[in-house]
Amino acid sequence: MKRLLLLLSLGLGLSAEAAPMRWADIRDGSLYLQPDRPDTVTVQWVPAWQADANEEHLYLLDGQGKLQAERLIAASESRGSQSWPLAPSAASYRLEVPGYSFRRYTVEHDDHTVALFAPAKVHFSAETRDGDELFFKVAAGERAVLAGKFHGGVGALQAQRVGDGKQLSLALKSYPAYWEFDQVELPVASTDQVWRLRLRGSGKAAFWLDGTANLFAQNPRQLKPLREDPGQTRLMLHKEILGKAANLGMALPYALPPANPLALLKSLNPRAASYYSVVDIMASRPHYEDAFRRLYQDRLGIKQDITLLAGSQRKADLQADATSNAGLEAWLAATRALGGEGTHYIGFADEPNLNYPDYASYQRLFSSMARQVRSNPDNFKAGVRIAMPASTRLVNGPFADNATDKRGIDWARRLLAESGDSIDALAWHEWMIRDLLATRVYRDNVRRAADLVGLDAQGRPRKALLLDQTNISSGPTLSPYEQETHYASLWWASVAINSSQDGLLDMLNWFQADDESDHRKGMLRQLDDDRYELKPVGFAQQFIQKYWLQDVVRLENDAFEVDVLAMSTDLQHCLFGVNKGTRLQRVNLSGAGCPLSKGSLRYFGADNRSRDAPFSCKDGSVSFDLPGETLFALSWTAT
């Protein structure tokens, strides 16, 4: 077999020579590898969908969480392969295939190497064939749950306990909401139990375990406890200021919020916001937005925002017709009435590279509306600036057919060449970088955006860079394991750090402020008509903003699982960071000096609370032990 199944006819009885173990058609997941002798892991890939519009990364970490190797796969490499040597190790390497992947990956290694696969939850992890088998273990006393989701391929999971043959079946049904899935409880036992999992149906497969280790093996003898040794994080702080830290904000509701959610929104301390303006509403009711836009500016202190024009029912492919032009004119008048405070970017369409049939169709709208905005100098005096193209994703293509012709960066390049004098900012949205280890892509994309617009004599982008919408997933394709848990906190902290790392980005907005019925990816959830509460990412936003300072200071960081941003405002200094891995990291900081004046270290964990933590300052360096999956802030005052 070629699909997530050991070739049982090869190698189980062979000890003199190694036989290959193959994992095929992985799309999203982690493969932990523990070799007891020198081995080579080989990864091959073939296209799955729109591969030629999307570049991807593979990561190989050693047993202490250091980046052993990385492979950037160019969009032009729809097919290819990569091999890496593995030295014998008591702790497991981690080969990461970050989802959402546009390729199918096959991994081969020595069958003596212990291999455990950790699939994604809710999202599909692989493409399999009917009857493929894996094994998993449930420890004594664990209340384990086997779960799965139907993605049009595998339609049932069959579990059989190896010890006594007890069987359980789980049918995977189709649900209207992406985040709904099926699950079955496994019997609790007083001793460890090994189970055989058989996948029924061919195609996309989503299966996972809760209440026990989410690890699967092709050979039951390889079901060993996963070992991850503590890591080392070395930081070197410099005095050089790179630029400004991005203003962090969120997409705010298109309505006047009740008192309860308004108070919670204020507690999130947003410094930027993204809005929609519905042109057909504004054309007929030109003062519709006045009250809540004034409220957000005065009560929340929003001085930097971006508005995307749209139509009712999320219509995104606007035309330069009488309704759209009247809606834009009403928005401009309302913005002038705000009194000229702050900067108000306007984008003439929402994700045009996804919603328009081709570039020319969008370019016609852009040219017409840009002329309309520039025709009145009072718009510029009121802080109105033009942003483009507000694309879905920047470097990679949209989730659409013919994505190679619709990459945001390509459309932006053409617009800059044709209408550069009418453009004040480059805006884009980033979705589907769901893997915590892949969030460094945000830094790469900001750098590429800066390269596109160019830098001025002070090293600042010639056009403001606005990442005005982002989230773990796009649309309603949401996993509650991500959106409703501490995972979202880790992800948002990491994205904020990576996006701001070079001081090039002006704005970064989480999408969106509050849950909607089919888009449950807010920082707030609704309890009833007018009562809301913070979700974990909302609590994390409070912690982040408390320590988010003005300037980005250059920092060297040799870690892969720990992201850190150095910031300062006048005499205040802060290292804000996040340990995305589960292992303990021993952090050492040089360059800050000792002792730290008014120094403090705060941790923020899965309980949504912050707490003081100890650190030592000796021989000119600061050191502390950072638990896994923890945000931290080390702050002090310059002397």
The strand order across the sheet containing 156-161 reads 133-138, 193-200, 156-161, 167-171
- Model confidence pLDDT, tens digit, residues 387-415: 999 999 999 999 999 999 999 999 999 99
User: Contact, 264 vs 531, CB < 8 A?
Assistant: no
Give dist(CA 417, CA 421) in Å, integer: 9
User: Contact, 510 vs 541, CB < 8 A?
Assistant: yes
The CATH number of whichever domain residue 457 belongs to comes to: 3.20.20.80
Give dist(CA 329, CA 340) in Å, integer: 17
Going by the DSSP 8-state scheme, the letter that residue 190 receives in this structure is S
Helix ranges (DSSP H) in 391-440 = 408-419
Q: In the listed set 229, 264, 291, which residue is the last one of a domain according to the structure?
A: 229
Residue 99 pLDDT > 70: yes
Q: 213 or 10, which is more confident?
A: 213
- Model confidence pLDDT, tens digit, residues 61-71: 999 999 999 99
Query: Tokens in use for 145?
Result: 């749950």
pLDDT number for residue 239: 95
Q: 3 or 509, which is more confident?
A: 509
Q: 595 or 180, which is more confident?
A: 180
User: Contact, 169 vs 156, CB < 8 A?
Assistant: yes
Q: What confidence category does residue 9 fall into, taking pLDDT thresholds of 50, 70 and 90?
A: very low
Residue 359 and residue 301 share a domain: yes
Q: What is the mean pLDDT of the chain?
A: 95
Q: What confidence category does residue 314 fall into, taking pLDDT thresholds of 50, 70 and 90?
A: confident
Give dist(CA 10, CA 1) in Å, integer: 11
Residue 265 and residue 314 share a domain: yes
Q: What confidence category does residue 529 fall into, taking pLDDT thresholds of 50, 70 and 90?
A: confident
Residues 6+ positions from 508 with CB-CB distance below 8 Å: 246, 247, 248, 249, 272, 467, 470, 495, 496, 499, 500
Give dist(CA 334, CA 338) in Å, integer: 7
Residue 585 and residue 468 share a domain: no
Residue 259 and residue 223 share a domain: no
Residue 1 pLDDT > 70: no
Q: Specify if 172 maps to a domain.
A: yes
- Model confidence pLDDT, tens digit, residues 358-376: 999 999 999 999 999 999 9
**How deeply is 1 buried, as exposed, middle or buried, from its count of CB atoms within 10 A (0-12, 13-18, 19+)?**
middle
Residue 564 and residue 470 share a domain: no
Residue 255 and residue 215 share a domain: no
Q: What confidence category does residue 132 fall into, taking pLDDT thresholds of 50, 70 and 90?
A: very high
pLDDT number for residue 8: 31
- Using left for φ > 0, alpha for ψ between -120 and 50, and beta otherwise, residue 263 falls in alpha
Residue 537 pLDDT > 60: yes
Q: How many structural domains compose the chain?
A: 3
- Model confidence pLDDT, tens digit, residues 235-266: 999 999 999 999 999 999 999 999 999 999 99
Q: Specify if 481 maps to a domain.
A: no
Q: Specify if 155 maps to a domain.
A: yes
Q: Specify if 15 maps to a domain.
A: no
Query: Tokens in use for 156?
Result: 């049932």
User: Contact, 469 vs 511, CB < 8 A?
Assistant: yes
Q: What confidence category does residue 18 fall into, taking pLDDT thresholds of 50, 70 and 90?
A: low
pLDDT number for residue 12: 24
User: Contact, 586 vs 230, CB < 8 A?
Assistant: yes
Q: Looking at residues 2-11, what average pLDDT do you find?
A: 34
pLDDT number for residue 305: 98
Query: Tokens in use for 244?
Result: 């400004």
Residue 116 and residue 49 share a domain: yes
Residue 3 pLDDT > 80: no
Residue 2 pLDDT > 60: no
Query: Tokens in use for 422?
Result: 């009418």
- Model confidence pLDDT, tens digit, residues 426-466: 999 999 999 999 999 999 999 999 999 999 999 999 999 99
- Provide the residue type at 388 as one letter: M
pLDDT number for residue 385: 98
Q: Specify if 6 maps to a domain.
A: no
pLDDT number for residue 517: 87
Contacts by 371-376, CB closer than 8 A, 24 or more apart: 371/422, 372/325, 372/328, 372/329, 372/332, 373/328, 373/332, 373/346, 374/422, 376/332
Q: Specify if 621 maps to a domain.
A: yes
Query: Tokens in use for 255?
Result: 């309505």
Residue 453 and residue 345 share a domain: yes
- Model confidence pLDDT, tens digit, residues 102-121: 999 999 999 999 999 999 99
Query: Tokens in use for 496?
Result: 């904020």
The CATH number of whichever domain residue 595 belongs to comes to: 2.60.40.1180
Residue 253 and residue 202 share a domain: no
Q: In the listed set 178, 194, 229, which residue is the last one of a domain according to the structure?
A: 229
- Model confidence pLDDT, tens digit, residues 567-612: 999 999 999 999 999 999 999 999 999 989 999 999 999 999 999 9
User: Contact, 594 vs 635, CB < 8 A?
Assistant: no
Q: Specify if 234 maps to a domain.
A: no
Give dist(CA 394, CA 467) in Å, integer: 10
Q: 42 or 16, which is more confident?
A: 42
Residue 147 and residue 84 share a domain: yes
Residue 572 and residue 446 share a domain: no
- Model confidence pLDDT, tens digit, residues 208-231: 999 999 999 999 999 999 999 999
Residue recorded with tokens 């929104």: 265
pLDDT number for residue 253: 95
- Model confidence pLDDT, tens digit, residues 475-485: 999 999 999 99
Q: Specify if 264 maps to a domain.
A: yes
Query: Tokens in use for 541?
Result: 């936003």
Residue 374 Cα to chain centre, angstroms: 36
Residue 613 and residue 507 share a domain: no
Which domain does 600 fall in, by range?
A: 556-637
pLDDT number for residue 185: 98
Q: In the listed set 180, 204, 229, which residue is the last one of a domain according to the structure?
A: 229
Q: Coil, strand or helix: which one is 604?
A: strand
